[in-house]
């Protein structure tokens, strides 16, 4: 089933990433609520759309949602 919104968003499997990558992404966060970097996140979910990839999770400190954008090189 696909939702045809502005962007076609697909959920990916965050846990398919290498353990090191998972650790890094979970540690390297920015929380808009705490206004602090690297507080960490839990409950990560990875999404992708046509132009970008990001991870959504909950801030370890305050529990608010945090989003980390991932910059990936395109494989052509
Ligand atoms: Zn926070």
Q: Are strands 53-59 and 65-70 parallel, antiparallel or unpaired?
A: antiparallel
Distances (CA, A) of 8 to 2, 3, 14, 32, 52: 8, 7, 18, 25, 11
pLDDT tens digits along 28-74: 999 999 999 999 999 999 999 988 999 999 999 999 999 999 987 66
Task: Please tell me the least confidently modeled range out of 2-6, 16-20, 23-27, 64-68.
Answer: 2-6
Predicted local confidence at residue 75, as pLDDT? 62
Ion ligand 1 neighbours (CB, 5 A) are: 31, 33-34, 59, 61-62
Predicted local confidence at residue 35, as pLDDT? 97
67 CA distance to ligand 1 middle (Å): 11
What's the CA gap between 22 and 40, in Å, rounded? 11
Both tokens of 48, joined, read 């992708």
What's the CA gap between 48 and 26, in Å, rounded? 17
């Amino acid at each position: 089933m696909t939702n045809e919104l502005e962007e076609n968003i697909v959920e990916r499997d965050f846990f398919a990433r290498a353990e090191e990558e998972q650790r890094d992404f979970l540690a390297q966060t920015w929380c808009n609520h705490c206004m602090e970097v690297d507080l960490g996140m839990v409950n990560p979910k990875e999404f992708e759309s046509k132009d970008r990839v990001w991870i959504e999770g909950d801030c370890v400190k305050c529990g608010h949602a945090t989003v980390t954008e991932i910059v990936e090189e395109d494989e052509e």
